[in-house]
Amino acid sequence: MPGQIQHPGYEEEKLLRVSKLLPCRDVQAGRLLALMGEPEQYSYPSIFIYGHRATGKSHVLHTLLNELELPYATVSCVECLSLGLLFQKIILSLFGSDCVPLLPRSPSLSDFVRVYKQLCVQSTAKQTKYIVLDRADLLRDMEANILPAFLRLQELVEDNVTVVLLSEIVWEKFRPNTGCFEPLLLHFPDYSKDELQQIMCEDSHPSYTSELYSAFINILLGVFYSVCRDLRELRHLAALNFFKFIEPLEKDEVKESDIHRLWRNIEPHLKKAMQTVYLREVSSVQWEQQQMAEKEAGALRGLSAHAHVELPYYSKFLLIAAYLASYNPARTDKRFFVKHHGKIKKNNFLKKHEKTSNHLLGPKPFPLDRLLAVFYSVVDSRVAPTASVFSQISSLVTLQLLSQLGHDDQLDAPKYKCAVSLDFIQAISRTVSFDIVKYLYDFL
């Protein structure tokens, strides 16, 4: 049923093969092909393809380029730590490895263009060359001239070349403020639910009927579709949970027709999966193992379940102090920590001009001396300001339990924020039997 892609420039059977390989993407493929035109014909200098993850952007493009045997270079910008790497890859895959040495070390863009030109002159191929830049959004972080230059590369190198940019991010976020050559925008829409169903059913388990599998997929989508539409993710989940699904069949408690029973069996399991393996709280391997082991799904504790941290006694109090300092307004310290705060009236103290609580707004920064002041007033025994007390603070920073703001010039009265959650700090203060909630402004 895939709408046959047609183009005079290429043989029928090739195109047929392509359209086999691209389920539910024939429209996009067709349009793309039409734009590319026949091998010798010019194509638009730069094409910008955007769409959600796993909507077949690079898949479509690469199948076309591969199957139709067009000259192309594809580079993922994630890997390009340096411009040199980028250029090298392009030259390599367009002109072959023996041309790479022509590039000088740490080449500039003009070097690249020069080399490219001179190579073009040598090569007689008239075909359109394609340069595919995946994760193009990273081009923005490179030198300012790279993105505009690639957009008008055809003009710069005076060769029949087309640059294709792939990204999940819309073009508006790319455009430099002085403008640039506008690429041709192509959108790859997300798969509809049915399309997802259709695609995922293609990789059904060999030893089971495709009806069964599609039923399974249907259930899976029922649970996950409202949360996640990433095909890759969904496929992964399907693979992980299929065996659980067919378990009753294996034990022939249920017969294949009885989808409802199967559904009742799998549904809670999938719900569980959403909380664990979908978030990678539990690794996929562990997940499968526990399925095999017939354990009930609660048995596995996720990563964030192990939040408990053993800390030295004073570090605990330092952390508590930091938490108090960053979630209580400074003006309330007096009331909390001074023994006889006669003046402060309960009611006018309690007026919360900010109706939103600090636990909604997040931690506020505080200076070192406030931290120490609070620390000395919460810790029960009197502590000598030894070197180790101070070093513990900076250690807490490196452990990312505290976070230091601004440049870390110690003389310049550093500011900190507490970077732990309420549950965490409560657990900590329980171990030193310190009732932190009593000291928190929000819970008054």
Residue from 17, 62, 175, 187 in contact with other proteins (CB under 8 A): 187
Tell me how far, at minimum, the Cβ of 347 lies from other proteins, in Å. 27
CB of 124 to other proteins, least distance (A): 18
Task: In whole angstroms, give the CA distance from residue 441 to residue 430.
Answer: 19
- Tell me the backbone φ, ψ of residue 377, rounded to 5 degrees: -85, -20
Of 61-69, 72-80, 256-264, 330-338: span binding other proteins (CB under 8 A): 72-80
Q: Using the rule CB under 8 A, give the single segment among 11-19, 250-258, 398-406, 436-444 that binds other proteins.
A: 398-406
Residue 417 near other proteins by CB under 8 A: yes
> Chain-centre distance of CA 107, in angstroms?
31
Nearer to other proteins, 12 or 258 (CB): 12
* Backbone torsions φ then ψ of 188, nearest 5 degrees: -100, 105
Q: Which of 344, 394, 415, 426 binds other proteins (CB under 8 A)?
A: 394
Q: Does 170 bind other proteins (CB under 8 A)?
A: yes
Residues 324-353 touching other proteins, rule: CB under 8 A, are none
What's the helix, strand, coil split of the chain in %, to 5? Answer: 55, 10, 40
295 binds other proteins (CB under 8 A): no
Residue from 209, 210, 388, 431 binding other proteins (CB under 8 A): 388
Contact 133, 47 (CB under 8 A): no
443 forms part of the interface with other proteins (CB under 8 A) = no
274 binds other proteins (CB under 8 A): yes
Among positions 243-262, residues that touch other proteins (CB under 8 A) are 243
412 binds other proteins, rule: CB under 8 A: yes
CA nearest neighbour of 287 among 275, 274, 273: 273
With respect to other proteins, which residue has the nearer C-beta, 106 or 348? 106
Query: How big is the site for other proteins, counted in residues (CB under 8 A)?
Result: 144
Q: Which of 4, 257, 275, 431 binds other proteins (CB under 8 A)?
A: 275
**16 vs 389, which CB is nearer to other proteins?**
389
The helices-and-strands tally (H runs, E runs) of the chain is 19, 8
Q: Which two tokens stand for residue 2?
A: 């895939």
List alpha helices for 68-181, DSSP H.
83-95, 109-122, 146-151, 153-157
- Residues 37-66 touching other proteins, rule: CB under 8 A, are 37-38, 40-45, 50-52, 55
Residue placing its CB nearer to other proteins in the complex, 230 or 349: 230
Stretch that binds other proteins, among 255-263, 332-340, 404-412, 432-440 (CB under 8 A): 404-412
* 231 closest CA partner among 381, 361, 55: 55
How would DSSP label each residue in 66-77? HHTT--EEEEET
Pick from 399, 408, 431, 443 the residue near other proteins by CB under 8 A: 399
Nearer to other proteins, 254 or 389 (CB): 389
Contact 84, 103 (CB under 8 A): yes
Residue 344: CB minimum distance to other proteins, A: 22
**Residue among 21 and 228 whose Cβ is closer to other proteins:** 228
Do the beta carbons of residue 131 and residue 65 sit within 8 Å?
no
Is residue 429 close enough to count as binding other proteins by CB under 8 A?
A: no
Kindly identify the residues of this chain, within the stretch 85-124, that bind other proteins according to CB under 8 A: 85, 88, 97-98, 100-110, 113-114
In angstroms, the CA 76 to CA 133 distance is 6
Nearer to other proteins, 413 or 437 (CB): 413
Closer by beta carbon to other proteins, 203 or else 267: 203
Residue 214 is encoded by which pair of tokens? Answer: 């599609």
* Spatial distance between the Cα atoms of 183 and 163, rounded to a whole number of angstroms: 9
Q: Please answer whether residues 237 and 216 qualify as being in contact, where contact means their C-beta atoms are separated by less than 8 angstroms.
A: no
* Residue among 324, 410, 440 nearest 375 (CA): 324
Among 72, 216, 278, 323, binds other proteins (CB under 8 A): 278
**Minimum distance from CB of 172 to other proteins (Å)?**
7
- The DSSP call for residue 439 is G
Question: Do the strands 46-51 and 161-167 form a parallel or antiparallel pair, or are they unpaired?
Answer: parallel
Say if CB 157 and CB 115 are below 8 A apart.
Answer: no
